[in-house]
Amino acid sequence: MSAKAFDAIVIGAGQAGPPLVGRLEAAGMSVALIERKFIGGTCVNTGCMPTKTMVASAYAAHLARRAADYGVALSGPVGVDYQRIKARKDKVTNDARGNLESWIAGMKGCALYRGHARFESADTVRVGDDLLTAPKIFLNTGGRASVPDLPGVHDIPYLTNSSMMDLDVLPSHLIVVGGSYISLEFAQMFRRFGSEVTVIEKAPRLTGREDEDVSAAIQSILENEDIAVHVGADDIGFARKGNEIAVTFSAGKPPAVGSHVLLALGRVPNTDDLGLDKAGVKVDQRGYIVVDDQLRTSVPGIWAMGDCNGKGAFTHTSYNDYEIVAANLLDNDPRKVSDRIEAYALYIDPPLGRCGMTEAAVKKSGRRALVGQRPMTRVGRAVEKGETQGFMKILADADTGEILGCSVLGPGGDEAIHSVLDLMYAKAPISTLARAMHIHPNVSELLPTIAQELKPLT
C-alpha cells in the first residue's frame, strides 16, 4: 500500500493539535489530523469544561443553602437534581466539541482521520487501513488517569476522572483516594450535591506541592463542609462489602465504606501504544516524550506538545506549547518552554490561584527573600461577600525586588493571581505592584497593600 503524503501530520486533537492544524493549514500546508476518540481532548470532554460546569452547579447549591446568611428566605429546603446537572454539563461539552468539529471540517487543507495512530517509521503513520506520511509530525496525545496496582483495586468498580463524567446517579457516599487537585475538586463538588464524602491521601498532607499553610487552609475548607479527610494513609486496599466498597488504610483505623470510589492518583502519558520505538522517539522512565526547549523530540521532524511531554499537565501549558511550536516554525520567533512561569489554579471554592515559586522553593534556593501575607478576613470584598476563608501571600527577592511567587486562596483567587503573574512576565519589581492603584472594592486591591508590608522570610 502506498502512503498518502501530507506536509504535516498532527496526532491528537486536544488543546494544542487543532489550533496548530489551523495555523499550518492557513500557511498553505496539507495536514492530516488524527483523533481516536473525541475532538477537544481531556479539557473539553472529561476535564476543565465539564468539571467546572459541575463546580458552578455545586456553588449554586452551596450558596442557596446559605441564603439565610444573606437575608434571603427560601420557601423550602434546597434540592439537587443530578440528572439536570449532568445534562447541563453534557450540553456544555457537546457544544464545545461540536464547534471544534465544525471549525476543523471547514479547513480545506485538513483531512481528519478517526482511529488509533501508530508509527511505522519516523515519517510514516498507520491509522487503521490508511498509511500516511509527512516530513513533519506533531504529537498531542495527552494523558490518562493512573491506576496503581493497589491490593483489591481490580476487584471493585472504581471510577476515574473520565468515568465520573458518565456517572448518572448521585453517590450516597463517595470515597476519593488521592488528595491533590482533581480529587479535591470532585470531593467538594459531590459533597455540595449531597453525597457523603471521604478523602484518603497517602502523603502527610493534601496538595503536597503547595506550602504547608496553603495545604492546611485547603484541608480546613473541606472539613468545614463535613468532608472527612485522612492524610498519612498507608497500606491502602479495596474490597467489596455487599453492595458497597470498603477502602482499608492505616492499620488500626476502621475502613471507609461507601457506594462509589474515585481513584485520583495522578496521570500517565498516552505514549505506550504509539509505536514510538519504530520512529526512534525517546521517552523518559515515566513514559513522557523527551523534548528540548522548543518541543522538538529526539527525532528531527517530530515534535511533542501537551501532557505527553511532561512539561505541564494543564490546558494552558498545552495551548502554550502550540504557540511555541507555531512561533518557531511559522513566525521566526524563537519562543521557549523555559520562558514561561509556572501558574495554575485549584478549583475548589474558594479557589486557589498560584504562580511562580512556593515559599519552600524560595527557601531551598538560598535566596534572601521577603514575604507578605493577609487573611481573607481582612479583605473587605471577601467580608462583603461572606466568603472569608483563605489568604494571600506574595514572595519577592530581598536584593533585587524581583517578584518570586504568589498564592491567592480566596474568592476570585483564580482571577486575582493574574495581577501578579503579568507583572512577573513584564519583569516588573515588587515596587511596581506596591505603587499600583487597584479598584475598590476588590480582592485584588489588597495585593499592593501586601507588597508594601513585606517582611524578611525566615
Q: SS3 for 344?
A: strand
How far apart, in whole angstroms, are the C-alpha atoms of residue 430 and residue 437?
A: 14
Phi-psi region of 306 (alpha: psi -120 to 50; beta: other; left: phi over 0): left
How far apart, in whole angstroms, are the C-alpha atoms of residue 270 and residue 279?
A: 16
CA dihedral sign of residues 291, 277, 40, 163: negative
Find the DSSP H helices in 304-427: 315-330, 359-365, 380-385, 413-425
* C-beta of residue 217 within 8 angstroms of C-beta of residue 389: yes
Give kind and range of the element (H or E) at residue 216: helix 212-223
Compute the C-alpha angle 9/10/12, nearest 5°: 145
Just list the catalytic residues: 440
How far apart, in whole angstroms, are the C-alpha atoms of residue 45 and residue 90?
A: 9
Buried b (16+ CB within 10 A) or exposed e, 245-270: bbbbbbeeeebbbbbbbbbbbbbbbb
How far apart, in whole angstroms, are the C-alpha atoms of residue 264 and residue 74?
A: 36
The cell for 384 is 462583603
